[in-house]
Amino acid sequence: MTVVVSLHDAGRVHDGVHALKGVNLEVSAGELVAVMGPSGSGKSTLLNLAGGLDRPTSGTVRIEGEDLAGVKDLAVVRRGRVGYVFQDLNLIPSLTAAENVMLPRELDGVSAGKARKEALAVLAELSLGDLADDFPEELSGGQRQRVAIARALVGERRLLLADEPTGALDTATGDGILGLLRGRCDAGAAVLLVTHEPRYAAWADRVVFLRDGEIADSTDVPLESAR
Ligand SMILES: Nc1ncnc2c1ncn2[C@@H]1O[C@H](COP(=O)(O)OP(=O)(O)OP(=O)(O)O)[C@@H](O)[C@H]1O
């Protein structure tokens, strides 16, 4: 299987705090890896490095074989290859749901017409088709969460990163989101999912446990689990 993202001995120091220490991790196409661990163990830092939102202070991060240390503008790598669902939803309040989802594609040079078509298709997949022209403030918390997820999924990105994507959602909707991530994964994406919930980790192929910035354990999830 093609390795989509790899961290080699990757570390990140924030103001003297070792948020991540010498982490080695590879996620291949078709693989969903759940990242678990106590608060402050480095889960978000790991996701930020894997997605090129932040650079390591030691070690190497590669996305589809490309060493990010040699990339001047990480935004280009992110927009084209990485979908990221943030903990805070980060929707732009002055744009409709569809426009929020279209934005990363338009920034990539896709025409407005094509970007809208893609956005409407993903929104429909997330049962948000009727709300495409609503603004974030007109949506419920759960609906906003799903729009943020639609924005991460649009455009066939090879690497999807989700930081507690089910946080504001009820169990049924959360299961729906996991099903979607799993579907993208089975279609060839690599997915890294931070979650505190074992029921969601059961959808993963592998669970990585972080403690004090290090991988304390890594376990393959048996196929007969919740999936
Ligand atoms: N920008 C920053 N500046 C200073 N310290 C930071 C920064 N980001 C993270 N840290 C520190 O790095 C460590 C790891 O943080 P991180 O957010 O990655 O953990 P986490 O496992 O995602 O936590 P949580 O589950 O609470 O979100 C913590 O000690 C945190 O205080």
Strand partners, 194: 35, 163
Which helix (H) or strand (E) is 23 found in, with range? strand 17-28
Domain layout of the chain by residue ranges: 3-220
The protein residue with its alpha carbon nearest to ligand 1, atom 24, reads 39
CB atoms within 10 A of CB 45: 24
Q: Which fold has domain 3-220?
A: Rossmann fold (3.40.50)
Atom of ligand 1 at shortest range from CA of 37: 21
Q: Residues 95-147: pLDDT tens digits? A: 999 999 999 888 878 899 999 999 999 999 888 999 999 999 999 888 888 89
Question: How many Å lie between the centroid of ligand 1 and the Cα of residue 68?
Answer: 21
The protein residue with its alpha carbon nearest to ligand 1, atom 7, reads 14
Mutate to test the pocket of ligand 1, among 44, 192, 197 (most ligand atoms within 8 A of CB): 44
Question: How many Å lie between the centroid of ligand 1 and the Cα of residue 14?
Answer: 9
Question: How many Å lie between the centroid of ligand 1 and the Cα of residue 213?
Answer: 9
Strand partners, 210: 215
Q: If pLDDT is split at 50, 70 and 90, which confidence band does 87 have?
A: low
Dihedral of CA atoms 141, 34, 59, 155 in degrees, nearest 10, equals: -60
Q: If pLDDT is split at 50, 70 and 90, which confidence band does 225 have?
A: low
Dihedral of CA atoms 115, 116, 117, 123 in degrees, nearest 10, equals: 110
The protein residue with its alpha carbon nearest to ligand 1, atom 4, reads 14
The protein residue with its alpha carbon nearest to ligand 1, atom 13, reads 19
pLDDT number for residue 75: 85
Atom of ligand 1 at shortest range from CA of 46: 18
Question: How many Å lie between the centroid of ligand 1 and the Cα of residue 187?
Answer: 32
- 36: CB partners within 8 A, 6+ apart: 43, 194, 195, 196, 201, 207, 208, 209, 210
- Percent of the residues in the chain that have a pLDDT greater than 90, as a whole number: 60
Q: If pLDDT is split at 50, 70 and 90, which confidence band does 168 have?
A: low
Does ligand 1 lie within 6 Å of residue 40's CB atom? yes
CA distance 41 to 47: 12
